[in-house]
A and B are shown apart, each in its own frame.
Chain A
Amino acid sequence: MAGTSSSKAKEKREMVTVNFIDRDGDKMTVNAKVGDSLLDVAKDNDVDLEGACEGTLSCSTCHLIFKPDEMETLKLDEPSDEELDMLDLAYGLEDTSRLGCQIMVAKTFEGITVSVPKAHRDIRDL
Chain B
Amino acid sequence: MWITLRRSLVLHKAITGSVQAGHGRWSAVLRWFSVSCGTNQTDRPHVGIVGSGPAGFYTAQQILKSHGDAVVDVYERLPVPFGLARFGIAPDHPETKNCINQFTTTALSNRCSFIGNVNVGKDVKLDELLQAYDAVILCYGAEDDRTFGIPGEHLQGVYSARAFVGWYNGLPANSNLEPDVSAETAVILGQGNVTLDVARILLSPIERLEKTDICEHALEVLKKSQVQTVYIVGRRGPLQVSFTIKELREMTKLEGCKAVFDPVDFRTIQDKLPSIPRPRKRLTELMCKTALDESTSQNASIKKWSLKFQRSPLQLLAEAGGEKISRVRFEVNDLVEQSDGSVQAYGTGVHEDLPCGLVFRSIGYKSIPIDDRVPFDRRKGVIPNINGRVVITSSTDESGKDVSLIPGLYCSGWVRNGPIGVIATTMNDAFQTGELVVQDIKSGTIKTTGPTKGFELIGSLLHSRGVKPVFFDQWRKIDQIEQERGSELGKPREKIISVQEMLDIAYKQNGS
- Chain A interface (Cβ < 8 Å from any Cβ of B): 23, 50, 52-54, 56-61, 81-82, 84-86, 88-91, 93, 119-122, 125
Report chain B residues within 8 Å CB of A88.
244-245, 278-279, 282-283
User: What 17 new A-B contacts, CB under 8 Å, besides A52-B424, A61-B427, A84-B282?
Assistant: A23-B431, A50-B102, A52-B99, A53-B95, A56-B98, A57-B95, A59-B422, A59-B424, A61-B424, A82-B246, A85-B246, A88-B278, A91-B424, A120-B428, A121-B387, A125-B386, A125-B387
What are 12 A-B residue pairs whose CB atoms fall within 8 Å in the complex?
A: A52-B423, A52-B424, A53-B95, A53-B99, A58-B98, A58-B246, A84-B282, A88-B282, A89-B424, A90-B424, A93-B278, A121-B387
Instruction: Decide yes or no whether B101 CB sits under 8 A from chain A.
Output: yes
Considering only residues 402-444 of chain B, those with a C-beta below 8 Å from chain A are 417, 422-425, 427-428, 431-432
Mask for B91-119, Cβ within 8 A of A = 1, else 0?
A: 00101101101100000000000000000
A-B contacts counted at CB < 8 A amount to 70
Give the complex CA separation of A53 and B102 in angstroms.
9
- Chain B interface (Cβ < 8 Å from any Cβ of A): 93, 95-96, 98-99, 101-102, 244-246, 249, 278-279, 282-283, 386-387, 417, 422-425, 427-428, 431-432
Q: Which DSSP category, helix, strand, loop or mixed, fits chain A's interface?
A: loop
Q: What 10 pairs across the A-B complex have the smallest Cβ distances?
A: A88-B279, A56-B95, A58-B95, A85-B246, A52-B99, A54-B98, A85-B245, A58-B96, A119-B428, A53-B98
Q: Are the CB atoms of A61 and B282 closer together than 8 Å?
A: no
Which of B101, B249, B386 interacts with A54 by CB under 8 Å? Answer: B101
Report chain A residues within 8 Å CB of B93.
58
Which of B246, B278, B423 interacts with A61 by CB under 8 Å? Answer: B423
Q: Are the CB atoms of A59 and B99 closer together than 8 Å?
A: yes
Q: Are the CB atoms of B96 and A59 closer together than 8 Å?
A: yes
Give the complex CA separation of A86 and B247 in angstroms.
10
Give the complex CA separation of A58 and B247 in angstroms.
10
**Shortest beta-carbon distance, A92 to chain B, in Å?**
10
**Shortest beta-carbon distance, A65 to chain B, in Å?**
15
Report chain B residues within 8 Å CB of A23.
431
Report chain A residues within 8 Å CB of B282.
84-85, 88
Q: Are the CB atoms of B279 and A89 closer together than 8 Å?
A: yes
